[in-house]
Structure formats: C-alpha cells, structure tokens
C-alpha cells in the first residue's frame, strides 16, 4: 500500500509504505531477476543435508517478475519462478522497495544477484501481503 495514510482494514494483508514509490524504478529493478541465477543474496542460508553434508542449491529460474498498480495506492508484485528459497520473495520485495524509494538504483539489482551475499541486498519485507496465489506444474 503506497499512500500517505494507512488503511486499517488492510493492515493485516498489506505492507504500508508511506514514501512515494517510483513504479518505473520498481519495474526496472525486476529486469535483472529474469533467468537462471543463484539467489543467495535473497535467501536465508540453508542448512547442509545431514547425510551428504552438502548445502541445497539456491539456483532458481525466474520466469516473470512485475509490479502492477491496482488502484487507490495499492501496488501488487507478481513473481513466477521454478521454485523459491526461504525468504526469497520478501527479500526481493524489500530490495525493490528501496529502489522505488530512490535509496538504491534499479541498475544495482544485477550486482546484488552476482554478489551472492545476503548482506548486500535490502531488508526483508514484512509477511503481511505475501500470499501464494497459484501453483503450476
């Protein structure tokens, strides 16, 4: 929710961001997400497999990532990927919001992905508003 005053009826199902967000910057930040990447910068580090000792792969293929203006200050982020790692979507959204606020440039997203370092990405968006919309096979 991107408007000066929060809506108390949406508080449990949305993240209120009072600062003006640049929708164009949000969308530009999504461009680097497409394709097959190691999303370590956006995921909690997984525990090694107790049998093999190996860490699970954080390689994911993003097929679509886009922002939509729904109306009345409501923005929706959609992402479609082969799978998701723990906190991946919330970390991506937190980073994109920084780009929308102007505290980061959208062109930084590719470097954040390449860094494969969680500390390089932005904060984690709160869980309000995050929902699984569809599962496809």
Domain boundaries, the chain: 13-45+55-120
Q: Please, which residues have CB within 8 angstroms of residue 120's CB and are 6 or more apart in sequence?
A: 41, 111, 112
Question: Could you report the per-residue pLDDT of 54-92, keeping only the tens digit for each?
Answer: 989 999 999 999 999 999 999 999 999 999 999 999 999
* pTM for the predicted model, two decimal places: 0.92
Measured at the CA of 27, the angle between CA 136 and CA 116, to 5 degrees, comes to: 75
Element housing 96 (H / E): helix 88-101
What is the per-residue pLDDT for 46? Answer: 87
Question: Could you report the per-residue pLDDT of 89-125, keeping only the tens digit for each?
Answer: 999 999 999 999 999 999 999 999 999 999 999 999 9
Which of the following CATH numbers is that of domain 13-45+55-120: 3.40.50.970, 3.40.50.1100, 3.30.830.10, 3.30.70.660?
Answer: 3.30.70.660
Q: Is the pLDDT assigned to residue 136 strictly greater than 80?
A: no
d(Cα 22, Cα 55) in Å, to the nearest integer? 37
User: Residue 126 is encoded by which pair of tokens?
Assistant: 């709160």
Q: Residue 95: how many CB atoms within 10 A of its CB?
A: 25
């Amino acid at each position: 929710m991107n408007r000066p005053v929060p809506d108390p009826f949406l508080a449990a199902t949305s993240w209120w961001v009072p600062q003006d967000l640049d929708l164009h910057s949000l969308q530009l930040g999504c461009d680097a997400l497409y394709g097959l990447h190691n999303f370590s910068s956006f995921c909690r580090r997984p525990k090694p497999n107790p049998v093999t000792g190996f860490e699970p792969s954080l390689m994911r293929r993003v097929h679509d990532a886009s922002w939509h203006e729904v109306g009345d200050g409501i923005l929706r982020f959609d992402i479609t990927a082969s799978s998701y790692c723990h906190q991946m979507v919330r970390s991506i959204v937190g980073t994109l919001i920084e780009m929308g606020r102007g505290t980061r440039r959208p062109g930084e997203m590719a470097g954040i992905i390449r860094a494969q370092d969680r500390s390089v990405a932005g904060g984690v968006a709160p869980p309000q508003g995050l929902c699984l919309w569809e599962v496809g096979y």
